[in-house]
Structure 1
Amino acid sequence: MALLLLGLVLWLGVVWPVAAQSRGASVTQMRLENGDDGVYLSATVQFELPTLVEDVLDKGIALHFVAEAELYRERWYWTDRKVAQVSRYMRLAYQPLTRRWRLNVAPVPITGNAGFGVSLNQNFDSLDEALDAVKRIGRLRLGDVAEIGEDGQHPVVFRFRLDTTQLPRPFQIGMVGQSEWDIATERSVRLAVEKPR
């Protein structure tokens, strides 16, 4: 029994890290910057689209990505207090008639029923160009300098994920147990507010 348990632990030690890395998404850069009208977070995410997901895009099904950031103020006498929270929603779709890629970016979820509301729209000639825009999360406004403060380092949590709940229902049912759809990453760091360049 002990030998079987030892074998299981060794197997998990080899397989578990490989499974955790197979998702392939990572945050490669994060920084806080003091702008004219507030404090902004910029981040860069690195991931590769699996062939299965790329095929779905080629068929005209839109993919939805979500980037979220939370900034905390440290307190020595209690848990850290959340000072700011911001989200960015991105919808990437292929336009077969124009053979171009369209990226919609909005501060609220982009749903097909409610239209796109207030969103930034960009068109790209290739999927690589469109994905580069999705991977660069620029200038997420966290709040005013007076609320956040310029001194010291601030704990920041950044999350990025493919929102599979926005896919059509047949895809949601069919993706159960398929790791190709699990594009997500989270990073927690302490950042100082940088002066504008």
Structure 2
Amino acid sequence: MPCCSSARPIDGPAGRRRAMRALAATLLLAAGAASAALESPAADPVQLVLQRRSEGLFLSARLPLELSPAVEEVLRKGVPLHFLWKADLIQSRWYWLDKTVASVARTVRLAYQPLTRRWRLSYANGTPGASGLQYGLHQNFDSLDDALLGAGHVSNWKLVDAARWRSAGEQRVEFSFALDLTQLPRPFQLGLFNQSGWNLSLQKTLEVPEAVGNEAEPAADSSAEGDA
């Protein structure tokens, strides 16, 4: 008879906590040598386009996401991932500190549904864990690759409305995308401390177009971080 047949059943909060700790310990052994990477090969580069229109300022983006086998295993065990999109519109001021004109954020939650064997994306405006955060849109996918395409794509994201935007002088958009590790269960957070394999982040700077209808791409000094 297998040795594990005598294991105690998972009953009550204490049992569930023990199971979560055991799961975290098992998966982190594999995660230590694996990576979650934001890849940008020549055939599929990061695409960021900032467009100025009469209605306001809009951003469209396509980020090629790739998860390591260890991170995928975490997802398949029922632990969702939260991706944070963030954009700050900055006004340059020679006489004082730069001013943040507008700041927007959106959360994309990726989860695996074992019963249907499908992947689910949920979208919300705001940062992960924020009070009152509500997911207003959901999409289901048959494969993880398709779900990652959805998680790394945004079209016509309004950063600021024209009615509340006074465009004067030099302005730029500081864009960032990251996997929010603070939303993982506590055992995972502790075990992943300082593990670069779980770093999935991107930072870009885009200059605001001067005229309506013009587009801007990332500035030359933009930087990206991730583990290939």
**TM-score > 0.5 by shorter chain:** yes
- Number of equivalenced pairs: 175
Aligned mate of 1:63, from 77, 81, 95: 81
Partner Cα distance (1:152, 1:28) in 2: 28
Letter in 2 for 1:31: V
Partner Cα distance (1:106, 1:42) in 2: 17
- Pair 194,123 (structure 1): closer, same or farther in 2 beyond 3 Å: farther
Partner Cα distance (1:189, 1:195) in 2: 15
Partner Cα distance (2:199, 2:182) in 1: 12
Residue deviations 1:12-40 (CA, integer Å, cap 9, x gap): xxxxxxxxxx8743682222224564321
Matched, 1:86 2:104: yes
Please show how residues 18-29 of structure 1 align to structure 2 within 5 Å. Answer: 24-25=37-38, 28-29=46-47
- Matched position secondary structure for 2:208: strand
- Matched position secondary structure for 1:75: coil
Q: 2:27 — aligned with what?
A: none
Aligned mate of 2:160, from 143, 156, 161: 143
Aligned mate of 1:161, from 178, 192, 201: 178
Partner Cα distance (1:120, 1:84) in 2: 24
Deviation at 1:102, TM superposition (A): 0.5
Partner Cα distance (1:23, 1:55) in 2: 12
- Pair 121,86 (structure 1): closer, same or farther in 2 beyond 3 Å: same
Is the 1:34–1:145 contact (alpha carbons within 8 Å) kept by the matching residues of 2?
Answer: no
Partner Cα distance (2:72, 2:36) in 1: 15
Deviation at 1:137, TM superposition (A): 2.5
Partner Cα distance (2:135, 2:54) in 1: 23
Please show how residues 28-177 of structure 1 align to structure 2 within 5 Å. Answer: 28-35=46-53, 37-111=55-129, 117-148=134-165, 154-177=171-194
Deviation at 1:105, TM superposition (A): 0.6
Greater share of strand residues, 1 or 2?
Answer: 1
Residue deviations 1:136-181 (CA, integer Å, cap 9, x gap): 1323222222443567763110011100111111111221232221
Partner Cα distance (1:68, 1:129) in 2: 22
Partner Cα distance (1:196, 1:96) in 2: 45
- Pair 44,52 (structure 1): closer, same or farther in 2 beyond 3 Å: same
Is the 1:83–1:147 contact (alpha carbons within 8 Å) kept by the matching residues of 2?
Answer: no
Letter in 1 for 2:73: D
Gaps of 5+ in 2: 1-34, 216-228
Deviation at 1:196, TM superposition (A): 8.5
Q: 2:20 — aligned with what?
A: none
- Matched position secondary structure for 1:117: coil
- Matched position secondary structure for 2:67: coil
Partner Cα distance (1:63, 1:30) in 2: 23
Letter in 1 for 2:140: N
Gaps of 5+ in 1: 1-21
Is the 2:123–2:137 contact (alpha carbons within 8 Å) kept by the matching residues of 1?
Answer: yes
Partner Cα distance (1:130, 1:138) in 2: 16
Q: 1:12 — aligned with what?
A: none
- Pair 36,122 (structure 1): closer, same or farther in 2 beyond 3 Å: farther
